[in-house]
């Protein structure tokens, strides 16, 4: 009977998720705020993987063919997932949408298994459905197109599950994947996750270091080399605070948030059912003050209360005082915390009932209230070729405010006449022209310059006849070198800087060490 109930409850949770995510697996195109950015990134990332670069850092075809170091800073995991899905779809548009759909299903599954370890089958099903139908999750998928936030939330919930199961090596690995899923959400979720580990399994706090070090190949260069781009935060957080009524009143809109001319038409509601679930869990905890989960619930209540306060204009002085908070960009981004907390609250309340099956009514209500949000605007099918044939997409920087442009030059609006330009000479042979490694021979009538029409960035190395030479990039941010009279072999290649190499070594060593520790702990 217990096994049968387990399968039924799992089916309820997954069926609800599949219903909500069906549009992402269809052929129609779903317009979102960030979707087109992600589509172009997946194309470029896939190209780099296909060329043998397992950790892409450079996008060679963006920025009008001058390239841009976007992948040195942009969270890589959604691009890995999207590139894998693209192998089967042969199209980045559907790879992006399906990857986001897979992330949503992962959220539901991770919620279910986490809550199953705490409360049992029926409460887990109720909690998983309530979590999956938090309105902000549909804002992320169908309005913003924030694939990174979706996957970061999925890995947060997976971390909770693995922590409860005491699978600490896999917990550390899942936390590493969370960091690789979304820079900002990793910053927000890390202290939240640390608090949960200190309550549920203090050993997990040490293992979180494994996740941090395993992902060092990404975050270490992104952090230290951030000084080489114009600015990773181009959003004024002051324009994105919300009012109390916006948190409480059901609303929906597909435009942008802000106090500017666009106004605030995007939904920033907590959701009717999440509010009901949290209120019901408070009632249940008062009825059973000695509940084994009360300490965790109090922590969740404190977290959601803090998040609500930080989303309101009254907290502006805190954002001004604690400057790292400004990297969050949008205060309403804290609505992400509603997803795990609403799911936990619903499961906790259902668990407190004498007949837990009554809790299924809450799950039904969650679906009924939010089901309309799971039916986005659908456009006619739009393929990858649609974007790759339009210069406004292929030649951009795929970033808000061209934030990944280097400090030496802004966005290049036009493509160069040729990949290489020779002053006082000519190219006479080209032996290799890979994305990040170009070799050719020039004949110089007299001393002159060779210009490789690629954006300079630390890691680019130029050599003449096998001897490294200085790169002159100060004039316009383009790779240029002086070459003497005569015939010369030129090579320009992109390599890892000491910081990138250090991050990669830390990641490899830490995964190996924590794997050994994890294996030893099982003996």
Average pLDDT of span 107-117: 96
In a domain, 263, yes or no: yes
The CATH number of residue 450's host domain is 2.60.40
In a domain, 86, yes or no: yes
CA nearest neighbour of 508 among 220, 165, 82:
220
Whether residue 286 is found in the same domain as residue 386:
yes
The sign of the torsion formed by the CA atoms of 92, 98, 99, 100 equals: positive
Checking phi first, is residue 33 left (phi over 0); if not, alpha (psi -120 to 50) or beta?
alpha
Whether residue 344 is found in the same domain as residue 302:
yes
Average pLDDT of span 504-519: 86
Whether residue 254 is found in the same domain as residue 124:
yes
- Tell me the C-alpha to C-alpha distance, in Å, between residue 242 and each of 122, 140, 300, 302, 312: 35, 17, 21, 20, 5
Whether residue 390 is found in the same domain as residue 424:
no
In a domain, 400, yes or no: no
In a domain, 520, yes or no: no
Whether residue 387 is found in the same domain as residue 463:
no
Q: How confident is the model at residue 2 (pLDDT cuts 50, 70, 90)?
A: low
Average pLDDT of span 303-316: 97
Whether residue 247 is found in the same domain as residue 157:
yes
pLDDT at residue 508 is higher than 60: yes
Write down the mean pLDDT value for the chain.
Answer: 92
- Tell me the C-alpha to C-alpha distance, in Å, between residue 147 and each of 114, 159, 222, 523: 22, 18, 19, 39
In a domain, 511, yes or no: no
Count of domains for the chain: 2
Q: Give the tens place of pLDDT for each residue, 417-435.
A: 999 999 999 999 988 788 9
Whether residue 233 is found in the same domain as residue 125:
yes
Q: Give the tens place of pLDDT for each residue, 341-360.
A: 999 999 999 999 988 888 88
| Contacts with 80 (C-beta within 8 Å, 6 or more apart), sequence order | 45, 49
Predicted local confidence at residue 170, as pLDDT:
93
Whether residue 61 is found in the same domain as residue 200:
yes
Report the C-alpha gap between 331 and 316 in whole angstroms.
10
Whether residue 311 is found in the same domain as residue 428:
no
In a domain, 507, yes or no: no
The share of the chain scoring above pLDDT 70, in percent, equals 96
pLDDT at residue 492 is higher than 50: yes
Whether residue 111 is found in the same domain as residue 162:
yes
Whether residue 173 is found in the same domain as residue 270:
yes
Asked which of 359, 394, 429 is the last residue of a domain, the reply is 394
Both structure tokens of 316: 């502006």
In a domain, 178, yes or no: yes
Asked which of 351, 378, 394 is the last residue of a domain, the reply is 394
Name the H helices within 312-396.
316-321, 338-352, 360-370, 384-388, 391-394
Q: Which domain holds residue 179?
A: 2-394
pLDDT at residue 260 is higher than 60: no
Asked which of 376, 394, 412 is the last residue of a domain, the reply is 394
Give the three-class secondary structure for 355.
coil
Residue 464 class from Cβ within 10 Å (0-12 exposed, 13-18 middle, 19+ buried)?
middle
Whether residue 369 is found in the same domain as residue 470:
no
In a domain, 366, yes or no: yes
Distance from chain centroid for Cα 147 = 6
Phi, psi of 174 (to 5 degrees): -65, -40
């Amino acid at each position: 009977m217990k096994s049968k109930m387990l399968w039924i409850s799992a089916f309820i949770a997954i069926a609800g998720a599949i219903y909500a995510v069906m549009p992402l697996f269809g052929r129609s195109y779903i317009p979102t705020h960030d979707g087109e950015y992600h589509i172009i990134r997946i194309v470029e990332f896939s190209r780099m993987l296909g060329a043998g670069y397992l950790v892409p850092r450079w996008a060679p075809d963006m920025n009008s063919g001058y390239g841009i170091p976007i992948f040195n800073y942009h969270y890589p995991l959604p691009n890995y997932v999207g590139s894998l899905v693209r192998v089967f779809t042969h199209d980045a548009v559907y790879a992006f949408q399906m990857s986001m759909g897979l992330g949503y299903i992962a959220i539901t599954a991770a919620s279910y298994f986490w809550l199953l370890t705490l409360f049992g089958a029926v409460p887990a099903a109720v909690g998983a459905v309530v979590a999956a139908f938090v309105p902000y999750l549909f804002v992320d998928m169908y309005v913003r197109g924030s694939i990174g936030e979706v996957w970061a939330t999925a890995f947060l919930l997976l971390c909770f599950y693995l922590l409860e199961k005491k699978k600490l090596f896999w917990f550390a690995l899942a936390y590493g994947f969370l960091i690789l899923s979304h820079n900002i959400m990793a910053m927000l979720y890390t202290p939240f996750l640390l608090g949960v580990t200190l309550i549920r399994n203090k050993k997990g706090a040490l293992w979180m270091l494994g996740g941090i070090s395993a992902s060092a190949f990404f975050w270490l260069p992104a952090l230290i080399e951030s000084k080489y781009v114009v600015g990773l935060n181009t959003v004024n957080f002051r324009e994105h605070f919300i009012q109390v009524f916006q948190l409480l009143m059901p609303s929906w809109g597909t435009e942008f948030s802000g106090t500017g001319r666009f106004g605030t038409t995007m939904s920033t509601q907590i959701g009717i059912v999440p509010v009901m679930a949290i209120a019901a869990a408070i009632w249940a905890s008062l009825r059973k003050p000695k509940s084994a989960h009360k300490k965790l619930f109090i922590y969740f209540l404190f977290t959601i209360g803090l998040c609500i306060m930080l989303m309101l204009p009254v907290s502006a002085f805190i954002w001004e005082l604690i400057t790292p908070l400004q990297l969050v960009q949008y205060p309403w981004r804290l609505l992400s915390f509603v997803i795990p907390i609403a799911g936990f609250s619903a499961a906790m309340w259902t668990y407190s009932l004498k007949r837990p099956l009554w809790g299924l009514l809450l799950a039904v209500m969650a679906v009924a209230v939010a089901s309309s949000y799971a039916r986005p605007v659908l456009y006619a099918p739009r393929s990858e070729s649609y974007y790759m044939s339009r210069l406004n997409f292929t030649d951009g920087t795929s970033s808000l405010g061209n934030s990944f442009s280097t400090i030496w030059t802004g966005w290049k609006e036009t493509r160069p006449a040729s990949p290489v330009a020779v002053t006082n000479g000519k190219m006479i042979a080209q032996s290799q022209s890979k994305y990040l490694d170009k070799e050719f021979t020039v004949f110089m009538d007299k001393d002159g310059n060779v210009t490789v029409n690629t954006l300079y960035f630390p890691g680019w190395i130029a050599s003449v006849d096998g001897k490294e030479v200085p790169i002159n990039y100060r004039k316009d941010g383009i790779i240029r070198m002086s070459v003497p009279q005569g015939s010369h072999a030129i090579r320009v290649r992109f390599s890892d800087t000491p910081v990138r190499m250090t991050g990669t070594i830390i990641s490899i060593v830490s995964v190996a060490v924590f794997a050994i520790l994890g294996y030893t702990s099982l003996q």
